[in-house]
Amino acid sequence: MAAPTGYFTQVAKAHGVKVTFTPEIEVDIREHITESTKLVWIETPSNPTLRLVDIRAVATQAHEHGVMVVVDNTFMSPYIQNPLDHGADIVVHSVTKYINGHSDVVMGVAAFNSDELHKRLSFLQNALGAVPSAFDSWLAHRGAKTLHLRAREATANATAVARALEASPHVIAVNYPGLDSHPHRAIAKKQHRDGMGGGMLSFRIRGGHAAAERFCQLTKIFTLAESLGGVESLCEVPSSMTHAGIPRDQREAVGVFDDLVRISCGVEDAEDLKKDVLQALERAVAETEGLAVDGANGANGYESGEQTL
C-alpha cells in the first residue's frame, strides 16, 4: 500500500482530509468511525505482507454508519476475488498488473455497485482528463482475455514456491494466503475463488537486508523489479524499493522488515521457479554468513555466477 499511503499522508492531508490507519486486520472499525468519516479503504491482500481483510465484516460495520467502502483488489484480480459481491461500494485495480498482464500498459480502473456512483465518478474522470488512450485500452482488452489462464497458472506457481520456501531452513516466515498455515486462510477460502492464494507472496530470509538484496541478485528466472502481475516472474526488496519512502517504524509495525522479499510469480514452469528460488536462497544466505556454497554449482544444478539485471 505504498502509493495509497503517500496519497493519504501527503495529498489528501493537504486538502484537509484526516486519515486514520488501522494495521490490525481484525480490528472493529466502529471505534474509528466518527461523524465526519466518509470512506473506509481496504487493501486485501495487503502489499507486501499478504494479510487478508474480511470485506463483508468491514462493509457491514461501515454501512451501519453510512460510510462507503473501497477495496483495492489489484493483488487478486477480478478472476480470484470480487469485492462487490462481499459488500464493497467501489473496487479499484491497477490494470497495469494482472488484468493487462503483459507489463506494457499504465492504467487503472474503478468499478461500482451503483449507477449513481458510476455517474459521479465518470464525470470527474472526464473533467480531469484521466482517460486512457485507445491503444492502451486495446492492449488491456487483449490481456483481459487470458486473465483466467494466467491467474490459475500464477497461483499454481506461487503455491509451489511458497511450499518450497516454507520448508527451507533459510526462511524465517512465508506470507501466502494459499498456505494452510496462513493466519487468514479461512478468509481466503470464503472470499477467493476456490480458496486460491493468487500469484503474490513474500518471505523473510535469514541474513537480514543484505541477504534479501543478494537473493534478488542471484535469481536466474526472477527479474529484480518493482512491478507485479505479468507473465514474467519478479522479485524485489520492499524496504529499499516499493516501501522505501515509509518510515522504518511504520513499516515494521505492519510486518515490512528489512529482510522481507516480495515475489510475483509469472507463468513459467513451476519446477524451474522452485529451483531458481532455492538456489538463490542457499547462496544468498551462505554469502551473507561468510560461507561458500560447495562446488561450482548451487544445490539445484544452476551454474554459479551472478545474473546481470
Taking each continuous run of H as one helix and of E as one strand, the counts in the chain are 11, 9
Q: How many CA atoms lie within 13 A of 231 on its CB side?
A: 9
* Mean pLDDT value of segment 158-177: 98
- For 175-212, the pLDDT digits (tens) are 999 999 999 999 999 999 999 999 999 999 999 999 99
Share of the chain above pLDDT 90, in %: 80
How confident is the prediction for the chain on average, in pLDDT? 91
Given a cut of 50, is residue 306 above it in pLDDT?
no
Task: Show the DSSP H helices in the chain as ranges.
Answer: 2-6, 13-14, 55-64, 77-80, 115-128, 134-144, 147-166, 185-191, 208-218, 248-253, 270-288
- Would you say 192 and 81 are in contact if contact means Cβ atoms under 8 Å apart? yes
The whole-angstrom separation of Cα 110 and Cα 122 is 10
Q: What is the 3-state secondary structure (H, E, C) of 137-185?
A: HHHHHHHHCCHHHHHHHHHHHHHHHHHHHHCCCCEEEEECCCCCCCCCH
pLDDT bracket for residue 223 (50, 70, 90) = very high
Report d(CA 141, CA 146) in Å as an integer: 9
Pairing of β 108-112 and β 200-205:
unpaired
Compute φ and ψ for 59, nearest 5 degrees.
-60, -40
Q: What is the pLDDT of residue 24?
A: 63
Is the Cβ–Cβ distance between 177 and 198 less than 8 Å? yes
Residue 289: per-residue pLDDT = 84
pLDDT digits (tens, 9 = 90+) for 50-81: 999 999 999 999 999 999 999 999 999 999 99
Residue at 184: amino acid letter: H
In the predicted structure, residue 296 carries a pLDDT above the cut 50? no
Q: C-alpha dihedral over 196, 232, 51, 244, to 10 degrees?
A: 180
Task: Spell out the domains of the chain, with CATH numbers in brackets.
Answer: 2-144 (3.40.640.10), 147-288 (3.90.1150.10)
In this prediction, residues 32-56 reach a mean pLDDT of 95
- pLDDT of 26 reads 66
Task: State how far the alpha carbon of 22 is from the alpha carbons of 15, 26, 38, 53, 219, in Å.
Answer: 21, 9, 16, 11, 35
Angle at which helix 270-288 crosses helix 147-166, to 10 degrees, equals 40
pLDDT at 55: 96
Tell me the mean pLDDT in the region 252-277.
Answer: 97
Cell of 177: 494466503
Q: How far apart are the first and last CA of the chain?
A: 26
Measured in degrees and rounded to the nearest 5, phi and psi for residue 99 equal: -60, -45
pLDDT value of residue 292: 46
- pLDDT of the residue at 234: 99
Q: What is the largest CA-CA distance in the chain?
A: 66
DSSP 3-state helix, strand, coil percentages of the chain (rounded to 5)?
A: 40, 15, 45
| pTM for this model (two decimals) | 0.89
| pLDDT above 50: residue 295 | no
What's the confidence (pLDDT) of residue 247? 86
Give the tens place of pLDDT for each residue, 125-161: 999 999 999 999 999 999 999 999 999 999 999 999 9
What pLDDT is recorded for position 1? 55
Looking at the predicted structure, is the pLDDT value of residue 90 above 50? yes
| Neighbouring-strand partners of residue 224 | 235
Q: Which of 17-26, 61-70, 296-305 has the highest mean pLDDT?
A: 61-70
- pLDDT at position 93 over 50: yes
